[in-house]
């Protein structure tokens, strides 16, 4: 092999080694950054984001029979669960099988509770709102009602936004408070990025150690769907509130 060819292969090998070393360095730095932003709690079974004082969960029939006293009393180091969003209704006529019991028992246990409606695109926003209102009585100290929108189905974006507005306006007129919008980060960016800025936002974005990647102020962040909680056999969605206790209290119904 000529000296020029040897030099060429030496140069390529050196560049490959340098590239691997740089990649490993940044991978290590990224891991350290994530470890600094979130800490794994064995009792919860997940990494919990740091720098948030108020943590909570959301549940539906899929968590089955919940012992709410166990949820309320669970504490790991300085973390307690301060709120729970509970699924109430879906579409035009489906009430969550566990809602009545969950709502009663969670409130009795002293949890700060909110109720949410799973919105079906392509169906009447007014009818869905009225169905939610018939099934959910909110009072002082409860969280605002929640619109959960996750799928476009066969609807188009313009039609969806129109019906969502009708739903939100109907709930606001009845409960005298702006509803919260729950959705995934990509869904909000693709379909709700205009016309919904005035509503409190609850964003689902997993595997992000510091917060959801979205260019919008948010109030709640669903950061995991694999949490463990005393009193609940199944996995649970975990959330944090983006603010302090005074901000949280201001959000509650008077």
Q: 154 vs 79, 159, 214, CA distance in Å?
A: 42, 10, 25
CA angle 31, 237, 118 (to 5 degrees): 130
Return all residues near 8 (Cβ < 8 A) that are at least 6 apart. none
Q: Which of 108, 150, 172, 194 is flagged as catalytic?
A: 150
Phi, psi (deg, nearest 5) at residue 112: -80, 120
Nearest to 49, CA basis, from 33, 27, 60, 26: 33
194 is catalytic: no
- How far apart are alpha carbons 150 and 158 in whole angstroms? 15
Q: Which residues of 212-242 are buried (b: 16+ CB within 10 A; e: fewer)?
A: bebeeebbbbbbbeebbbbbbeebbbbbbbb
Give the tokens for residue 111.
């949890």
Annotated active-site positions, please?
150
């Amino acid at each position: 092999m000529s000296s020029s060819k040897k030099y060429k292969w030496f140069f390529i090998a050196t560049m490959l080694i340098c590239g691997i070393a740089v990649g490993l360095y940044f991978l290590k730095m990224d891991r350290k950054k994530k470890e600094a932003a979130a800490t794994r709690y064995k009792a919860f079974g997940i990494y919990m984001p740091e720098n948030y004082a108020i943590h909570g969960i959301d549940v539906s029939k899929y968590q089955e029979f919940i012992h709410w006293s166990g949820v309320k009393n669970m504490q790991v180091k300085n973390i307690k669960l301060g709120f729970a969003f509970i699924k109430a209704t879906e579409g035009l006529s489906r009430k969550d099988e566990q809602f009545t019991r969950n709502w009663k028992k969670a409130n009795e246990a002293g949890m700060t509770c909110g109720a949410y409606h799973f919105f079906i695109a392509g169906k009447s926003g007014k009818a869905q709102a009225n169905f939610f209102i018939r099934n959910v009585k909110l009072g002082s100290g409860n969280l605002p009602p929640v619109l959960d929108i996750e799928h476009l189905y066969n609807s188009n974006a313009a039609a969806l936004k129109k019906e969502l507005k009708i739903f939100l306006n109907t709930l606001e007129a009845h409960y005298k408070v702006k509803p919260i919008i729950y959705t995934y980060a990509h869904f909000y960016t693709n379909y709700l990025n205009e016309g919904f800025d005035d509503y409190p936002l609850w964003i689902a974005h997993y595997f992000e150690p510091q917060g959801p990647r979205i260019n919008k102020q948010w109030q709640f962040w669903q950061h995991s769907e694999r949490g463990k909680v005393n009193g609940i056999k199944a996995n649970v969605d975990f959330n944090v509130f983006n603010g302090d206790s005074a901000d949280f209290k201001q959000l509650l119904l008077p």
